[in-house]
Amino acid sequence: MNSDEFEHKLKRQPIRRIPADWRDDILQTAREQASPAAERSRPALIRAALIAWRELIQPFRYAWTGMAALWMVFWVVNARLEITDSPTRSAIVTSAATDRIRLFEEQRQVLVELTGRIDLSPVEPPQESRPKPRSERMIGIRSC
């Protein structure tokens, strides 16, 4: 079938009308898309919020909803927990810390008694060993 035959066949077919509800939807979408002046008349902050809504939130609305629900659960659990910051708790923590420090001091004393004093005087630095002839001499290679 060449293009002439196809055109003749199209001319012979009756033209059907577009359903009314389709027509209304198409015209409404076209009106919304054809009014960029109304879009520009909005303040920049509102335009930025709408763009963020279309680009970030709307495509992933189920993920954002799930995260919001999870935060609400965390918030409820956190509100149910009792937060008690009483002086007795800090006193217990302080006494436990002092007990632990005292225990470390006792362990250090016992270690000193068992091993004797450790001499912390400076030690002679090791002497540099010069390379022996040939086989142990390192060859320095310089590159630019």
Give percent of the chain above pLDDT 90: 12
- Note whether 112 and 119 are within 8 A (CB): no
Contacts of 84 (CB under 8 A, 6+ apart): none
pTM: 0.29
Interatomic CA distance for residues 23 and 16, integer angstroms: 13
- Note whether 64 and 57 are within 8 A (CB): yes
pLDDT band, very low/low/confident/very high, at 8 (cuts 50, 70, 90): confident
pLDDT beyond 60 at 57: yes
Mean pLDDT of 34-40: 63
Give percent of the chain above pLDDT 70: 76
Higher-confidence residue of 132 and 21: namely: 21
The DSSP result for 82-109, as a single string, is -----HHHHHHHHHHHHHHHHHHHHHHH
Give pLDDT, residue 2. 77
Q: Where are the domains of the chain?
A: 3-80
Give pLDDT, residue 144. 60
Q: What are the angstrom distances between the C-alpha of 24 and each of 21, 27, 39?
A: 5, 5, 22
Give the mean pLDDT of the chain: 79
- Note whether 69 and 77 are within 8 A (CB): no
Helix (H) or strand (E) holding 118: none
pLDDT band, very low/low/confident/very high, at 11 (cuts 50, 70, 90): confident
Encode pLDDT of 64-117 as tens digits: 899 999 999 999 998 888 776 655 556 666 778 888 889 999 998 898 888 877
Contacts of 64 (CB under 8 A, 6+ apart): 57
